[in-house]
Structure formats: C-alpha cells, structure tokens
Structure 1
C-alpha cells in the first residue's frame, strides 16, 4: 500500500446515513473533557480545554438548529464567571487575603449569621479564587454545549436502551427545547433587523423572549405528540418478578453511578469511586437489559458504534483519565495557589493529555454543509 493510499484511508469521510458518528460518542467525549475540567482550577489548562472543545465544534458541527447552541453556552459560561465575581465582591470570599483592592460599606448582621458578610474588604486573593472557580464551572458548561452542538438529539434518543423508551417523550421535549429556542432567537433577530427594529436592549429582549419560549415549547411538544401517535414507548407484558428485579437493578445501579461519579469529581475519592462506579454501571446495564424485554418496538436503521465512535469517545476518556492521574502526582500545578498570589504554571504533560481531545476533529466524519454559490 502506497503512502497516498494509506493517507486516503485515514482521511475522515463525509458524513452520511450509513457512516454517521454515533451521537453517544460525542457525549462521552464531552463528558471526558468536563471531567478533566473538574479536576483543575488552572486557568491555562481550562482555557486549553475550551480551545479544544471550540476547535472540534468548529471543525465538525453541521448547520442544524442544535449546532447553533454552542455560542449560547459560551455566553452562559461568561455570565457564570461574571456572577461569581460579583458574588465575591458583595458577599465576600472564604479565602483570606492581604492585598486589599477596595473596601465596600459592610452591612451588620446578627450573631446567628456568623461567617456571612455583605460588603467589607475585597482582596485580590479572593477575586482570583472566585475567577478560578467561575472559570472551572464555565468550562464545564462549554463542554456540555459542545456535546449539544455536535450530537443530533433525535439520533441520540433513537439509540436509547429499550427500557428507557417510556420516558422518551419527556427526553425529546427536554433535549429539543434549547436548540429550538436558539434557532428561534436567530430567526426573530434577523426578522427584526430587516424591519429596522432594534435587536439589543432590554425592550427588544422582552419583545423577543416570550414568542421564542412559546415557539420552542410548541415545537418540542409537537415532536413528542408525533412520537406518541406513532406508538413510541409501547410495552409488552412481563412477569411481575422481572419488573421488580429490573426496577431494583436500574435504580440501584443509577444511584451507584451517581455516587461513583461524585467521588471521582471530588478532590479525593478516586480510589473507591471507581469500584462504586463500575458496580453501579454493571447493575444499571443489567436492569436496562432486562427492561428491554418489555419493548415491542423495532428500530429502523439503528446507529452503529464503529471504530470512529470508539476513537472519539476514547479520546475524551483518555483526557479524563490522564488528568485524574496528573492530579495524584502534580496537584500543585493543577490547582495554583492564591495565598500567596502566584502565577499559574503551564504543566506540559497535563496539557499534552488535553490535546488528545482534538482527535475527533480529524477522525469524525465531515459534516455535509451546503456549498456557497459564486
């Protein structure tokens, strides 16, 4: 095989019905990046995670309505940072500091409210700590926004286990509401701009907000009603013992997954978090498999989990695993100190692990975008 032929085989093909990337792979990739973001407060690494997510979204998102939601999540992340800083100014910070930026009038509080203050001294250490924490939460939101922009909600719902078909209608409403709302905002702002009406300011927001919320909810409910009319969620009769076993395994497994995930995202707890997560995941999968026996619904052209889906999801899992491992031997680089104030370092190996998240930009199928004329 020549070098040119080998390069053509590695080149990402155009996305089609037969080779479309599984929507779950995008969510696993994004959750891996979000897990990595939860393990650090280093602004350099968090900025790198945001850059990786943004580059993949720019390279692989389509022109579908849900693909436009990424910008809304970025703006939401910026708003979270601003709100966190405002809270640090008016409500204080748990971090003591010696570098006073300014002092605000402090509101006296009763004795039972000790430890809480409104106003007072605002320090540079407290503001930097608030900035780090707000940036971490904003990065988590942006990673979730990347999954929303890349994964087709309908195809993701189509891939749900059979045991979850009964809640599929509610899932459709929840997952299509935000993309439809973003699409309506873009459409209404363009219409107002063509009519010569302002698109910014509080008055314009109030005039656009209600129709946007109403239209997005109506379209989501219409989609759910169409699914219900087609028999979505129809179930068959199974023995009572099987139903009880299924419910016990599913609920217990999901609780184990939540507990294991929480311990993994915490600063300490990865040692016993992994066994709890694995046991909960095994129980939940067993319950879902038993619950699938109730479903009498067939799938038309089910999405296949191919090699490219493994590469995309594996890259996110690798970023998360390497970041967790880096926290065990170089915690100081992942969590720069604020007392005393020090400039954050740029750890090379954690940064290199974050760059593994760029793999979907090269292996995922290329979106079929309309060609511009002229």
Structure 2
C-alpha cells in the first residue's frame, strides 16, 4: 500500500510540475518543413523556371565523374560544367554525380549540355516531388528519396535524388554531401571483370536505386529499436514525455511512408514497361528491388500500427492510474467523513452538552474515532477496494 501511495503521489507531482512548466514557458511548436517544403517564389512562375525549392546547403555545387568500362576506370572530382560531356566509346559508361542544387545556373548548364527538357530541369530543383518516373526520347528521369536516420535527434533525414539515365551515362543529382552510394563506388573501383563494370548505365542506375532501398532496411531497424525501447518504457513507467515521443515517431513514420509508398509504382513501371533505355536483363533485378520495397512497406505499416496501439495503451494507462488515484482519494475521504461529522457535532456551541464535562469524554471520543477509522479501513480491505 505504501509503495502504491508513493507512486501515485509522485505521478501527481509530475503532472503538476509539467503543468507549471507549460504555464511558465509558452509552448511554440517547432514548425518543420520536411513534410511540405516552402516553395518561396515558386507559385505563379512560368513553366520551366529554375527556382530551387528546399533547403539551401552551405556547400558549393560539385560535379564528380566515374568513367568506366569492363577493363578501365577513370575517376575525377570537382569538374567544371565544360568538362562534363564527351563522346564515349562503345561499352563505356559515365556516371556524373552532382551534389548541391542551390545553384540554378549550374543545373541549367548541365541540363542544356545533356539536352534535358526544361521541365525536367525544373523538377530536379524542386526537392518536394514524390518518387516518380518520366520516359523521354533519349533518357529516363527517375526521382527517389534517400533516407537516413539521425541518431542524435532520432529523426528521419530525407533527401531527393534525381537520376537521368541515358544511352551511355547516368546523372545523379543530390541535395547535400553524404549519400549511400559508397558501396556502388567501391564495386566500380574494385569490380574489374564483374557485372557492374561489364553492363551499361541501366545496371548502374539499378545499383544506385538498390543502394537507396537497402538503406531503408537499416533505417527501419533503427526506428524499430527506438520504438521497442519506447514500448518498454510505456509498459514500465509512462510519463508525459512518453506521449511526446509517440507523436514524434508517428510523424517520422508518416514521413517515411510518404517517401516509400510511391516508389512501389516507380519500380513496377520500370520493371514492366518497355523502353529502349532499360534492357530486358535489368528488369529482373528491378523486380527484386520491387519485392524489397513491398517488404519495407509492410514493415512500415507494422510499426505504424504498433505506434497507434502504443498511443491507445498510453491513454488507457494514464486513465487507469488516474482512476487509482481517485479511488485512493475517495477512500481517504470515506474514512474521514464520519470522523469529520463527529468533530463537527462536538464543535457546536450549545451550553448543555453532557459529554463536554465528562472526565473520560475526550479519550472516549478519540478512541471511538480511531475505532471508526480502523473499522472502515478493515471493511475496505475485506471488500478488496484498497
């Protein structure tokens, strides 16, 4: 009983302390632009207007090149736009990785150099697109979302990656430094005689998409561990901070679902629709990535259902604890109610009250009140109300 009473008192003090903090310091929710990004001066602009939509990174726009075939590889960093386009021999593939999208003039120059449609150039700079695919005469345009888990803030960091897949080249546009393509680079550097060096740009594009999707599994593992820890905390000792964390992870899962769900349609279209850029052999690999995406979507829905159940469990737990507190307070009030009545009766100012002048009156009343309190407590324990 003593342990339960202490726990209930601690819970009440915690609620009171939280309320005092909120009253003393106005709450201004953090407004995040990760779900719907601010478009700045974009509304009303003419089609094809190159305006960057998204976070402006503090790094310069850089162009890196890996040019390879089955037996040779040439890697260069920090190229100028004028050094990008050159004639490739048969069997050679060029991968241009452009990092940083805030410089619209560089993106325009690259787009004009590779004869990209103005609307495609516009879409590259608009980082609020959902994953999609566009088929053009000489290239494919694919938009995917690269996701990484920030362990310090326990948030999902989303970055748009645009892929241009041509006859002998792949252009990849990403918003900031740092990606999940290091494994692909290592395979190219040390893959003499292997499939990735022998096949063309369509296989390279598949490898890049596969690297992004594989990283989704790592992200889900981190989110799953964090949510399981939160569930254990919820079952042991839920606090108001637990509710904040539940809402935080529900928001992260919403962001993750927004990035992954459309990718299923993209991969389905890539693996089924006929076009001259993707060979028939590559479609087998794309179907494998499609299967991975379905698995990831199932895991996302599982975690979302788990969070919804945790929210219901938290509300039930708080309601149950509040009911226990009210029960204890009601039982205390029930015990002291007859004692208060007795004290009130003998507190009346009548001249003739025989018990007031009785020598054993005070100890008798005190004994009677003690017996009444103990009797009520014993009755409550017998009925298992306490």
So what's the TM-score if we normalise by structure 2?
A: 0.23
Q: Using CA pairs below 8 Å that are at least 6 residues apart, which structure has the higher relative contact order?
A: 1
Please state which structure has a larger fraction of its residues in strand.
2
Please state which structure has a larger fraction of its residues in helix.
1
So what's the TM-score if we normalise by structure 1?
A: 0.23
